[in-house]
Amino acid sequence: MSATVTGAVGSSLRRIEGREKVTGTARYAYEYDPDDVAYAVLVQAAIARGEVRGVDVSRALALPGVLAVIWAGNAHRLAQDTQGELAVLQSPRVAYRGQIVAVVVADSQETARQAQALLKIDYAAESHDVLLREDHPGLYKPDKVNPAFATDTDRGDFEAAFGEAAVTVEETYRTPAMHNNPMEPHATIAVWQGDDGLILYDSNQGSSSVRQVVAKTFELDPERVHVIAPHVGGGFGSKGQPRPTVVATVMAAKVARRPVKMAVTRQQMFSLTGYRTPTIQRLRLGAGSDGRLVAIGHEVYEQSSTVQEFAEQTAVGTRMMYACANARTSHRLVRLDLPTPSWMRAPGECPGMYALESALDELAIACGIDPVALRVLNDPERDPENGREFSSRNLVACLQEGAERFGWDRRDPTPGVRRDGRWLYGTGMASSTYPANRQPSQAIARVSDEGRFTIEIAAADIGTGARTVLTQIAADALEVDSGRIEVKIGDSDLPQAMLAGGSMGTTSWGTAVIGVCAKLRELIADRIPAGGAEAHFDTAEDVEQQPELSRHSFGAQFIEVRVDVDSAEVQVARALGVFAAGRIINPITARSQFIGGMTMGIGMALHEQSVLDPEFGDYVNHDFAGYHIPTCADIEEVAAIWIDEHDSRVNPLGAKGIGEIGIVGTAAAVANAVHHATGVRIRELPIVPSKLVSRLS
């Protein structure tokens, strides 16, 4: 099965839904308006550990317009096997500050908030533990790391090789907790239809998965749950699965016996919608005098909550990135009195490659070898972890193209010598990688008497342009103009589809679209029958029969920074990303994804950190006044290009995911550039002036 090329794929087709979005007619979850709607406000725990002994609801219920106050003492009972964050109000136990301890439902948002302030909650507070450290007595080895990788790996004899290496680097790198902050906060409208039917207008990354989880939680037939999400204002992983906020809204609607709206505030997102775990990473690299790696060790320490285990796969990129006979990786986890971490753009590879690529830079300096040359030297022919052949691997091409375009050959490797007035200048680079996987999806294709085509698939467009690229894929597969095609997505009543996550959306959905279009073409080979025609396709068997290959996207990031010698302010002057990510379906949307990821990587390097107050037991900078992200003034010259790579062995499209690889490696490239500019190595992100100013001469 392969796609017929007629020119739609690879063209810069403008976004199908662009006019709806710029005119404001595109409706997002909270903007639907069912009849007789009520409003829910979430009440959050004011302690980090303990128990709710009681809630005095009398004053709140006496307020005109208040419909219900729900807490553990009167909450609807969920399915018995509901666990973790989704077991909303099923117990009086408090596992972290900010946990949902009550829900107020009223006929207006203002009334619900007023009633919230009238509640009196009696807590039995207990001492809490919220600090991640590498010597924490509660550290343990989880059975697996997200989603199902081995926790530890060991090949060769790492200790012996490291001990005998001519050149070694042994350093610890730290990343802080970071919170997803999509433009559209999480929002849900729940509408019960009797006792066994439910409509959800919900901001999510996959309506099929939301349907399954909600149905199981409320013991409903999945066919009786209808999830509608045609437009989603970003997710970055935080909307990849239903959050406790969704369960709370559905519960509120059931109790109130009215449709209920709930929008998570920006502040509440820092407690209830996931975040990237902080990490402590010990890197040990050993090389010969020629720079060839002989030993790689990567030890990771990270956190989860006491209610649910989530172990980020931070060291997995290290396992396959460079040729080395002796390697050891490990993950250790501690359960703390904090919210549960979850997916955030490029989980695992993002923090892990920051540490690895920073250590590679330090090794290059120790060996007296150019950082680009060191990576080219250690590029493997086969996957070092499992010995599999790569479906394609063009990291070297990215490194070489990026070096030429960036002017890397003019770089003086000596740190701290390039100055212009009050500014020190430096350049740095790093490699990027991300898996190129796909998951089963289904699709329906129809053609009308008039020769117009409709494609139906429960894909999600979270701002990436999914409708547009699926239209292009269908146009080529059907060999018709894209203007004759309508793609319907964002609805759980459509054929089941992989969620928009793991850089698997387009490849998973696109394979289903190619398959269903091929079947439809067979049905109408001679002519369109009266009444039109319809075809169905499921990629489940196709995915299961994929050959055993190592499938990854690759990239190289090049960064120039300037550092103020007086204030230690760091600014990114130039950023270039070069990527090998298979066939590019739409250059416009692809460039947006690459640059968006790079921008987040710059934010990770210089701005983003969730600051924990150990006494308070929570992250305290829970708004954009305190949690800093890049703005237009922080992003000066940024460019993303790609290698012409049509990987026919990775999927019928020849494409790989692009949503996450842009962030991978960017933070390391910035950190390496800061070292080159100043001679100061910062190994704990973000690189803020307070960490630099006292060390600048």
613: β partners: 618
Structure tokens belonging to residue 683: 């190994």
Beta strands in 395-544 (DSSP E): 419-420, 423-435, 442-447, 453-456, 485-488, 533-538
- 429 with 299, same domain: the answer is yes
Contact criterion met (CB below 8 Å) for 203 and 238:
no
What are the phi and psi torsion angles at 21 (to 5°)? -75, -40
Active-site positions read 660
Domain boundary among 212, 247, 272: 272
- Does a structural domain hold residue 324? yes
User: Residue 626 belongs to what domain range?
Assistant: 153-177+276-436+551-695
Contact criterion met (CB below 8 Å) for 510 and 584:
no
Average pLDDT for consecutive 10-residue bins of the chain (697 residues)? 64 96 96 97 98 98 98 97 96 98 98 98 98 98 98 98 98 97 97 96 98 98 97 97 98 97 97 97 98 98 98 98 98 98 97 98 98 98 97 98 98 96 98 97 96 97 97 97 97 98 96 97 90 94 90 98 97 98 97 97 98 95 95 93 94 95 98 98 97 88
Question: DSSP states of 66-97 as a string?
Answer: EEEEEETTTPPPPPTT--GGG-TTSSSEE-ST
Q: Rounded distance, CA 266 to CA 269, Å?
A: 5
Give me the residue label for tokens 């190994």.
683
- Does a structural domain hold residue 450? yes
Letter string b/e over residues 42-68, b meaning 16 or more CB atoms within 10 A of that residue's CB = bbbbebbbbbbeebebeebeeeeebbb
- 189 with 123, same domain: the answer is yes
Closest by alpha carbon to 283, among 3, 606, 555, 683?
Answer: 683
- 58 with 74, same domain: the answer is yes
- 645 with 669, same domain: the answer is yes
Q: Rounded distance, CA 144 to CA 128, Å?
A: 26
- Does a structural domain hold residue 503? yes
How many domains is the chain built from? Answer: 3
pLDDT value at position 120? 98
- 316 with 371, same domain: the answer is yes
Question: DSSP states of 481-523 as a string?
Answer: -GGGEEEE-SBTTSPP---S-TT-HHHHHHHHHHHHHHHHHHH
Q: Rounded distance, CA 285 to CA 339, Å?
A: 34
- 118 with 193, same domain: the answer is yes
Contact criterion met (CB below 8 Å) for 351 and 320:
no
pLDDT value at position 544? 86
Contact criterion met (CB below 8 Å) for 238 and 182:
yes
Is 684 exposed, middle or buried, given 0-12, 13-18 or 19+ CB atoms closer than 10 A? middle
Which DSSP helix (H) or strand (E) runs through 642?
Answer: strand 637-642
- 213 with 157, same domain: the answer is no
Helix-strand-coil split of the chain, %, nearest 5: 30, 25, 45
CATH number, residue 199? 3.30.365.10
Strands 637-642 and 570-580: what pairing?
parallel
- Does a structural domain hold residue 217? yes
Contact criterion met (CB below 8 Å) for 237 and 344:
yes
Domain boundary among 272, 297, 325: 272
- 299 with 378, same domain: the answer is yes
Q: Is the entire prediction scored with pTM above 0.95?
A: yes
- Does a structural domain hold residue 135? no
